[in-house]
A and B are shown apart, each in its own frame.
Chain A
Amino acid sequence: MSSRPYGNGLRALSFATVAAITGALALVFFYAPLEAEQGFLQKIFYVHVPLAIVSLCGFVLGGLLAIQHLRTRDPRWDMRSYVAIHIALIFGLGTLITGSIWAKGSWGHWWVWNEPTLVSFLIVWLLYATYQPLRFAIEDPERQARYASVFAVTAGAFVPLNFIAVRMSTSYLHPRTLSSTSNLPGPMALTFLISLLAITLLYATLCKYELTAKHTRAQVRALRRRLSGETAPARGRSAAPVALPDGAMPAAPGETLGARFGAGSAPGTAG
């Protein structure tokens, strides 16, 4: 009984992503009208804001997956939480860079403090940037997963609180044009929604891709261990969690790590 491969459905998902991204780009550059105030520069909105939204949802999703891990102690939930946060961090970096480009174009500065969404995003990003160093610094895989999950839940709860606090603290002297998503006229709203869909699908595809790759590597490691009859459990130096597939039997009764994973994992429900 081996776990269902993570790669199932990856092809369909990536095709859907390609279609969505192509559609979104076409809409952005051929359909959406020019905005009165910012002109052509406003087009960055269609890549910056979806990246921000998906990134934040990814962080919160990482926290939810971490709750599942703490409840079930199944290391696969921890792996999913890790991937969700990891990819969200990359998307977050993209958000900050595109936001900075937009700020430079709008106001001539590479950074502005009166844009609460961008500022709170920076704070959240700085927090999540410590996630991997935290994992790196704990060697025992079970404790690493547990501590990382506690961090993910804490940080996930912090995201909305931080946004509220920063938004409350910003003076509204300058119009917040960077994140005005309300009152979008029809064509712009449609373009925005399709862009959001495209970035969401991209996030899902990358997550699935990474989970598949990790799972494959774990299976190769398990195969190697079984072939050479090693009893010591795998200890990677990297921050990536070590997840054994369901069917991996411990090579010897002394392999506590395998026994713990074997006892904790539930059959089915993968991806």
Chain B
Amino acid sequence: MSATLGESPAAAAPAAGAPAARRGAGFGSTVAAVLRKELLVELRTLESVPAMSLFAVTTFVIFHFALNRGSVEGDLAAGVLWVTLLFAAILGVNRLFVADADQGGFDAFLLAPVDRTALLVAKVLTLLGFLVALEIVAVPAFSILLLAPPVGPALGGLAATLALGDLGVAVIGTLVAAMAVRTRARDLLGPLLTLPLFVPIVIGGVRCTAPLLELTHRSGPPARWLATLGVYDLVFGLLAFALFDFLVED
């Protein structure tokens, strides 16, 4: 089943998911079906992840010139990393629902007798996947281009911090993307809405990452800030769960 320009890959998969739901397979298989569709579309079109990764690497170069430094460490390193990741994430957020909105995927999904929250979970997992793929490229690039201390010992704590931060970014990004995609100024509203909501994630993320990237006296991420990230993720997860239905009603 090749995706021609006329055929909408977004509409095709819910049709495949609908028979599964009619068989009474429920929430989990709906999520799996939509997730599979999203990842297949991404693999086929290579729209989001390469652009996000390239953006991140280019941004590191820009930071080199903007900060006029050959290497960064500690607070500054954490800041550069998180800012770059967040702005690259916004690129992914912008594209998240575009295919569905433009090609009628929403309607197909709504007609199927499935729980709409499944769409939310699937999209969050998709964005999460994109972010992980982004970081697989961005973190090594960062450690090569700009990071002063070696990244090896930091990887464990970094992975934990990035996981928590990515979850928050994914939830907020999906919620905002669903809000912004069917407005007239979707590319403008998306970033405007997400950036203030990202601030606590930036705060928590940088506070966790900075000790990991010190040249001397390296230490692990403070538990207090990891907990803050976790709580923020939880609250927004619940919020998104409660509110998403209202966004995709029609």
A associates with B: yes
- With an 8 A cutoff between CB atoms, is B207 at the interface? yes
State which of B175, B185, B193, B235 has its C-beta within 8 Å of the C-beta of A161. B235
- Inter-chain contacts of A168 with B (CB < 8 A): 203, 224-225, 228
- With an 8 A cutoff between CB atoms, is B197 at the interface? yes
- Evaluate whether A133 and B192 lie within 8 angstroms (CB atoms) in the complex, with A138-B184, A146-B246 already known: yes
B242 to chain A: closest residue by CB: A153
State which of B175, B185, B200, B249 has its C-beta within 8 Å of the C-beta of A133. B185
Q: How far is the CA of A161 from the CA of B207 in the complex (A)?
A: 16
- Evaluate whether A134 and B189 lie within 8 angstroms (CB atoms) in the complex, with A123-B199, A127-B196, A154-B243 already known: yes
The interface size of chain B toward A, counting residues with CB under 8 Å, comes to 32
Q: Which residue, of A70, A137, A165, A166, has the highest number of chain B Cβ atoms within 10 A? A: A165
A69 to chain B: closest residue by CB: B246
Mark B39-73 against chain A: 1 for CB-CB distance below 8 A, else 0: 00000000000000000000000000000000000
- With an 8 A cutoff between CB atoms, is A179 at the interface? no
Q: Are B235 and A147 in contact (CB under 8 A)?
A: no
- Inter-chain contacts of B247 with A (CB < 8 A): 146-147, 150
A85 to chain B, nearest CB (A): 14
Q: How far is the CA of A157 from the CA of B237 in the complex (A)?
A: 12
Q: Are B196 and A134 in contact (CB under 8 A)?
A: no
Prevailing SS type, chain B contact patch = helix
Q: How far is the CA of A123 from the CA of B207 in the complex (A)?
A: 18
- Inter-chain contacts of B239 with A (CB < 8 A): 153-154, 157
- Inter-chain contacts of B246 with A (CB < 8 A): 70, 146, 149-150
Q: Are A127 and B197 in contact (CB under 8 A)?
A: yes
- Evaluate whether A137 and B185 lie within 8 angstroms (CB atoms) in the complex, with A124-B196, A126-B196, A150-B179 already known: yes
State which of B179, B199, B207 has its C-beta within 8 Å of the C-beta of A147. B179
Q: Are B175 and A154 in contact (CB under 8 A)?
A: yes
Mark A119-154 against chain B: 1 for CB-CB distance below 8 A, else 0: 000011011001001101111000100110111011
A148 to chain B, nearest CB (A): 9
B183 to chain A: closest residue by CB: A137
Q: Are A134 and B200 in contact (CB under 8 A)?
A: no
Mark B155-189 against chain A: 1 for CB-CB distance below 8 A, else 0: 00000000000000000000100011011111011
- Inter-chain contacts of B188 with A (CB < 8 A): 133
- Inter-chain contacts of B196 with A (CB < 8 A): 123-124, 126-127, 158, 162
Total of A-B residue pairs, C-beta within 8 Å: 80
Q: Are B250 and A143 in contact (CB under 8 A)?
A: yes
- Evaluate whether A165 and B183 lie within 8 angstroms (CB atoms) in the complex, with A70-B246, A157-B235 already known: no
The interface size of chain A toward B, counting residues with CB under 8 Å, comes to 29
- With an 8 A cutoff between CB atoms, is A169 at the interface? yes
- With an 8 A cutoff between CB atoms, is B17 at the interface? no
- Inter-chain contacts of A124 with B (CB < 8 A): 196
- With an 8 A cutoff between CB atoms, is B204 at the interface? yes
Q: How far is the CA of A151 from the CA of B179 in the complex (A)?
A: 8
Q: How far is the CA of A171 from the CA of B180 in the complex (A)?
A: 36
Q: Which residue, of A70, A134, A154, A164, has the highest number of chain B Cβ atoms within 10 A? A: A154
Q: Are A134 and B207 in contact (CB under 8 A)?
A: no
A173 to chain B, nearest CB (A): 15
- With an 8 A cutoff between CB atoms, is B232 at the interface? yes
Q: How far is the CA of A147 from the CA of B247 in the complex (A)?
A: 6
B195-242 with Cβ < 8 A to chain A: 195-197, 199-200, 203-204, 207, 224-225, 228, 232, 235-236, 239
Q: Are A153 and B200 in contact (CB under 8 A)?
A: no
- Inter-chain contacts of B192 with A (CB < 8 A): 130, 133
Q: How far is the CA of A133 from the CA of B180 in the complex (A)?
A: 11
The 6 A-B residue pairs with the shortest CB-CB distance, nearest first, are A137-B183, A127-B196, A165-B200, A137-B184, A130-B192, A169-B203
Known: A133-B192, A165-B199, A165-B203. 15 other contacts (CB 8 A): A70-B246, A124-B196, A127-B193, A130-B192, A133-B188, A136-B184, A137-B184, A138-B182, A143-B250, A146-B247, A150-B246, A151-B179, A153-B239, A154-B175, A165-B228
Contacts A/B (CB < 8 Å), 6 sampled: A133-B185, A134-B180, A134-B183, A154-B175, A157-B239, A161-B232
